[in-house]
Amino acid sequence: MSDKAEKEKSARRRRWLALSRWARRLGRSWVERARGGEYLFLLFTAALIGLLGGLAAIAFDIAIHLFQDGFWSVVEPRLADLREISPWKIALVPAFGGLLVGLITTFLVSEAKGHGVPEVIKAVALDGGKIRGRVALAKTIASALTIGSGGSAGREGPIIQIGAAIGSRIGQAMGMSRRRLRTLVGCGAAAGIAATFNAPIAGALFSVEVILGEFGAAQFSPIVISSVVATVVARAWRGNVPAFAPPPCTFASAWELIPYALLGLLCGLVSFAYIRINASTHRLFAHPRLPGWLRPAAGGLLVGLLALVLPQVLGDGHGLSNAAFAGLFPVGLLLVLVFAKMLATGLTLGSGGSGGVFSPALAVGACLGAGLGGLVAPLLGAHYGGLAAYALVGMGGLVAGSMLAPITAILMVFEISANYSIILPVMLAAILSTVLVARLTGHLSIYTFPLARAGIRLFRGGSPDLLLAHRVDTHLRPRFETIRPGESARLLLDRLLASDASQFYVVDAADALLGAITLGDARRVLLSSPALVDMLLAEDVMRRDIPAVLPDDNLGATLAKFTASRLQELPVLRSAADRRLLGTLAYPDVLATYQDEILKADAS
């Protein structure tokens, strides 16, 4: 290439760089000008998120249908379709889908496994709403594979995480504050629910009640706008059709409140079982000998084997719910399907499959309600409002209990049934189920239970423990005093008087921690007789049950150890297997960090 051509190419490159810099400056100036009316700008941003969330829901549906057609040669296979498929295919297709999902979640994006909502709640509570953009694409593919291959999982959990990721990325690109960013994550979650179930009110309330955990007019308005826009987009694609098709039903008599109250209590017990089954299957598949990428395949295989006996457990549960409305199954089979669907969902998601728990909960509730409705129908006679009414109330009770979201459950049932006459029994069952589950789990839902197992406890109103974001290793003090167990108590007292340390740590020849000696322990030695002081050794004086912490622990978890031990500092070990001292954690440092976090929260 000649020098002239090289110079022309360099000049074009400089002009292109100058043009791109000018475009970025112009874009930033427009954003800053728009943010002069920041709340109005937030509403426009929420509308954009609603548009993208609705389009993402449509794309997600298309992806599921493509995989269903590829795996089963039919879109949304019904029970009659499954009965014509070879048994080996029913058993192995969910396993093959799980294998593909395991490869994606193990080697590409780990956040794509599970039902996604706990990760969104964690991001809102601890990370200010920051979610990686690649989560949306990976979650779409992984969840479409899981559901399309017959895994027992719902569509709403993935689309909530996809919508939340869209809202988070847009907010980060626009330089939104942490509080605004959390609101935009809520906008994305609301858009996902609204577009999936054609339920804009329930979508907005779910986002406020479950994702954000707090209600405020400044937050609710953009969430509503996002929910409405997403619903409009979804209706333009699918038409204004309800997510379910229950036959006409009614609340026939006040006498029905008795079986409805019983149904509410049963929903609470089954919701508790649903939460525990999901937690137990997570522990079952966490065995270290089973590779992470193979776990979803193992779960899929177990679901496929279960489907050989009960093919109704495959898929997201929409078909099962509609069958329960129509009374297609006898009462005994309905009650068997209550447990079988919960087990299939636990195996799918506990093994690392990708999908939601919302739609399976609706299916379980419909089967439970229809089962009870079939039992009480002969007893009520003319006072019976219809089998579909009990199925709908059961759906509301399961959603309310498993997610501790009674308002969302009540409005969801109203929107999917367009039937106001059954709202009273839905309210009764939802509240009874919620209260019972809250007492049994300590106010933990199916979404917050896995977070609590990981040491993340959310306070009422969705606020996190302010110390959870701080790790021990960033607050440890590297200086500490050690002594050997065979040293005399007299030498210990001399060293304590010469040092400003509040505790001495007794270590063995390998420098592993054996115990600690506090100033209070030394005071008791001083009050002993001189002859006893000369006889005692450090190991005779030390405390052996002193609690220790690890560098990766969060400060919130250390408070319980400080309270139980009544110590002013705790030893920090190198690891659980290596008991050598890395430093100490002082109680005043933890309190100072907590006060700083309170001031930051008040300022924001």
Q: What are the two backbone dihedrals, phi and then psi, of residue 517, each rounded to the nearest 5 degrees?
A: -125, 125
CA distance 69 to 244: 22
Q: How far is CA 292 from CA 101, 118, 124, 165, 282, in A?
A: 11, 20, 27, 24, 12
480 and 457, same structural domain?
Answer: no
Domain's final residue, options 462, 490, 518:
462
pLDDT at residue 214 above 70? Answer: no
Model confidence band, residue 463 (pLDDT cutoffs 50, 70, 90): very low
Domain limits at 275? 254-462
Question: What does the pLDDT read at residue 483?
Answer: 86
Question: What does the pLDDT read at residue 109?
Answer: 73
Residue 272, domain member (yes or no): yes
Model confidence band, residue 113 (pLDDT cutoffs 50, 70, 90): confident
Strand order in the sheet with 503-507: 481-483, 503-507, 513-518
Lowest mean pLDDT among 191-195, 294-298, 342-346, 588-592: 588-592
pLDDT, tens digit (0-9, with 9 covering 90-100), for 126-181? 667 777 777 777 888 888 999 999 899 888 888 888 888 898 888 888 877 777 88
Tokens of 529: 């007789």
Residue 467, domain member (yes or no): no
CA distance 581 to 511: 7
Q: Which residues pair with 154 in a beta bridge?
A: 356
Q: Structure pTM?
A: 0.73
Q: Per-residue pLDDT averaged across 493-503, rounded?
A: 78
Residue 11, domain member (yes or no): no
288 and 213, same structural domain?
Answer: no
Residue 374, domain member (yes or no): yes
Closest CA to 568 of 589, 554, 598, 544: 589
Residue 523, domain member (yes or no): yes
**Residue showing tokens 């970025």:** 24
Count of domains in the chain?
A: 3
CA distance 388 to 266: 17
Residue 246, domain member (yes or no): no
pLDDT, tens digit (0-9, with 9 covering 90-100), for 224-282? 999 999 999 999 988 887 778 788 888 888 889 999 999 999 999 999 999 999 989 98
285 and 203, same structural domain?
Answer: no
Which CATH number belongs to the domain containing residue 409 in this structure? Answer: 1.10.3080.10
407 and 367, same structural domain?
Answer: yes
Question: What does the pLDDT read at residue 5?
Answer: 66
Which CATH number belongs to the domain containing residue 543 in this structure? Answer: 3.10.580.10
509 and 450, same structural domain?
Answer: no
Q: What is the 3-state secondary structure (H, E, C) of 498-546?
A: HCCCCEEEEECCCCEEEEEEEHHHHHHHHCCCHHHHHHCEHHHHCECCC
| 215-245 exposure pattern, b = at least 16 Cβ within 10 A, e = fewer | eeeebbbbbbbbbbbbbbbbeeeeeeeebbe
pLDDT, tens digit (0-9, with 9 covering 90-100), for 507-537? 888 888 888 888 777 777 766 777 777 777 8
Q: Are 106 and 285 in contact (CB under 8 A)?
A: no
CA distance 41 to 26: 17
426 and 280, same structural domain?
Answer: yes
Q: How far is CA 348 from CA 94, 204, 248, 351, in A?
A: 9, 28, 34, 6
443 and 315, same structural domain?
Answer: yes
Closest CA to 412 of 154, 596, 162, 604: 154
Residue 157, domain member (yes or no): yes
